[in-house]
Amino acid sequence: MLSKRIIPCLDIKNGRTVKGVNFVDLRDAGDPVELAKAYAQLGADELVFLDIAATLENRKTIQDLVLKIAEHINIPFTVGGGISSTADVDDLLHCGADKVAINSSAVKRPNLINELSKKFGKQCIVVAIDAKEINGDWLVHLAGGTIPTSINLFDWAKEIEERGAGEILFTSMNHDGTKSGFANEALSKLSEIVNIPIIASGGAGTISHFSDAFLKGKVDAALAASVFHFGTINIPTLKKELIKNQIPIRL
């Protein structure tokens, strides 16, 4: 069985790491370069960098910051925010990213997934989905969760896989920042309908929430931000507890 992955996430705005609740009320969480260095040293399996304002501000990802972070870490590094072309991906890979995450641009032009997968390989392409459960339906949202759509989460996930994405990063907007646990029911359903790795995001508050994501949500990786940024959960301790629960993880 493949090892499960623990992934800290750096949500970036104005060059700083930020974190909110349900995608709003953002507060400062520290210097992204220092946080990235610390997470690599603590044993994080990967790192995700999301320039959360890039799409809203109609600009590209902050490449100089990506470059600085890449110089200080030795773990796989995924970068997202404002990516809409093969040229954007080329630039980020040259800055040190190992993978890229696309979200709004993929929904607006789904063939972008095909183009990127064909040029760079599916292992390089992560499609992020921000979705909110509304009256029992999981609906995809764009532009940092600010624009609702009528697109169903599960239908979109299947299309993403068919178009050549290598991974899905699903964030539950209902759970984001609440520390109430991941959206395990939706995650489990996702894991049943697609055959590519799923990264769970939104809701981590305790070590048991991570265990539940792997055992109940059946995900391949769990991503979190505030519990790591503010010291609620220590990554080495988390990994040791997961091993006690018979979850395969790299120490």
The whole-number pLDDT of residue 2 equals 85
pLDDT at 1 (0 to 100): 67
| Res 27: pLDDT | 59
CB 78 within 8 A of CB 126: yes
* pLDDT confidence of residue 130: 95
Confidence (pLDDT) at 17? 76
- List 130, 176, 212, 220, catalytic entry: 130
Q: Are 225 and 197 in contact (CB under 8 A)?
A: no
130 is catalytic: yes
Give percent of the chain with pLDDT exceeding 70: 91
Cβ-contact 31, 71 below 8 angstroms: no
Under 8 Å between Cβ of 78 and 36: no
Q: Hey, what domains does the chain have and what are their CATH numbers?
A: 5-244 (3.20.20.70)
> Does the model's pTM come out above 0.85?
yes
Report how far residue 236's alpha carbon sits from residue 2's, in angstroms, rounded to the nearest whole number: 19
3-state class percentages of the chain: helix first, strand second, coil last, to nearest 5: 35, 30, 35
Low-confidence ranges of the chain (pLDDT < 50): 23
Which of 11, 51, 88, 212 is the catalytic position?
Answer: 11
3-class SS of residue 196: coil
Task: Determine the pLDDT at residue 178.
Answer: 85
Place of tokens 């699903």: 170
Q: List, in sequence order, every residue forming a beta bridge with 134; answer none if it has no partner.
A: 137
